Amino acid sequence: MDQKHIDEYKNKLESERLLLLAQIEQHEKPVDFGSETESPEEETDETEEMGNQLAIAQNLKERLENISVALDKIRSGKYGICEKCGKPIEQEILDIDPESRMCKDCKEKE
């Protein structure tokens, strides 16, 4: 893979990283539902909403971790190599998912 493409992926990953950090911060803020609930159903809805927010934040953190791994690989010169088989990851895969850790064949096998 040429340096131009690596730089493009790096810029894309760094931009996505900043967006994810902002989204995580937003989803981890405590939700203010007010101090009184009018019914048990309302309290259940509030609890469910808080759980949903935390689940979203967790998914975003996992994606952020994958982006961090990809950026580390760029720095170490190992970016674009499949973690399963060691072959180069196809550019079409990296164009869609620049933090991808596996090539197309290995992704299909999972």
pLDDT digits (tens, 9 = 90+) for 23-37: 988 877 776 655 665
The pLDDT value recorded for residue 59 is 93
Q: Tell me: pLDDT of 95 over 80.
A: yes
Q: Tell me: pLDDT of 42 over 90.
A: no
Q: Which of 91, 108, 98 is nearest to 70 (CA)?
A: 98
Sign of the Cα pseudo-torsion (35, 41, 47, 52, in order): negative
The pLDDT value recorded for residue 110 is 84
Give the chain's mean pLDDT: 88
CA distances from 47 to 25, 26, 27, 37, 56 (A): 19, 17, 14, 11, 14
| Residues spanned by the domain of 8 | 3-30+37-109
- Is residue 82 within 8 Å of residue 100, measured between CB atoms? no
Domains of the chain: total: 1
Report the CATH number at residue 71: 1.20.120.910
